Structure 1
């Protein structure tokens, strides 16, 4: 760990929550910057490519739904990815307004580089923690995830 003093927020839930949100934002920015510098892909563009790599070709509406995003937002991302040659869009023979999006070979290669860059950034950050700290953080995040999704069966 670096030599800066670790400060805490005295345990008030709202203060801890704000600290968590601030740190999550900073971490996302670092991962995003690393991915852009290495592969030219932002985290949001990478997520689109990951969905296509995992599920295969999808109609744009299905892609938006799988990402939990508005179709308009995904359309803008897909258009940018298409200009870069990372995805291809083809018309549906039954409905010409409907587009199917698929990952290109260049998209697969670029996705792999972006994922590697993201992994490296996350390992740099979370590698600063001792194994027990990492296990504790993992358990706490799982607990919060369950609380936020309302799943109390787990």
Structure 2
């Protein structure tokens, strides 16, 4: 491979990488918009999904599981509590700790938001046939493997 071909390959990787980031951002925005229109943003949905999967959690555990700063989670939790989607209770052993639980209202909102998210993803990826989807999934797995192994 010539020096020019090597540079073109590297430039192509950067171009494709930037294109991927742009497309991923657009998909995330479309999903968030559709879910928000259904009553629950994507970020708030992630909190409720975690509580639905793992059950009641302390706020610190919730922040850690989400990979977010405790302050950011506190603001989200307060908003979810105001909307009646979760409850917070003081820990019996340490009153400073709050245990967060999903409510029935939160479960219903979660189901609605997840359905809206699924519908937009089906719409966005609906133009791909089964073989294209399988190939895209394999390619995304390769990129994910490289990203999780990168420092």
The answer, yes or no, to whether TM exceeds 0.5 is yes
Offset at residue 44 of structure 1 (A): 0.3
Q: Which position in structure 2 is the counterpart of 1:4?
A: none
Q: State the alpha-carbon separation in 2 of the partners of residues 109 and 121 from structure 1.
A: 19
Q: Which secondary structure state, in structure 2, belongs to the residue aligned with residue 12 of structure 1?
A: helix
Structure with the bigger percentage of helix:
2
Offset at residue 31 of structure 1 (A): 0.5
| TM-score in terms of structure 2 length | 0.90
Q: State the alpha-carbon separation in 2 of the partners of residues 68 and 36 from structure 1.
A: 22
Aligned residue pairs: how many? 140
The answer to whether residue 134 in structure 2 is matched with residue 147 in structure 1 is no
Q: Which position in structure 1 is the counterpart of 2:37?
A: 37
Q: State the alpha-carbon separation in 2 of the partners of residues 15 and 145 from structure 1.
A: 17
Q: Which position in structure 1 is the counterpart of 2:59?
A: 60
Q: State the alpha-carbon separation in 1 of the partners of residues 31 and 127 from structure 2.
A: 16
Deviation above 3 Å: which 4+ runs of structure 1?
A: none
Q: Cα RMSD (Å) of the superposition?
A: 1.2
Q: Which position in structure 2 is the counterpart of 1:72?
A: 71
Q: State the alpha-carbon separation in 1 of the partners of residues 53 and 85 from structure 2.
A: 15
Q: Which position in structure 1 is the counterpart of 2:17?
A: 17
Q: Please list the CA deviations of residues 5-54 of structure 1 after superposition, one character each: whole Å capped at 9, or x if unmatched.
A: xxxxxx7011111111111111111100100111x111000000000000
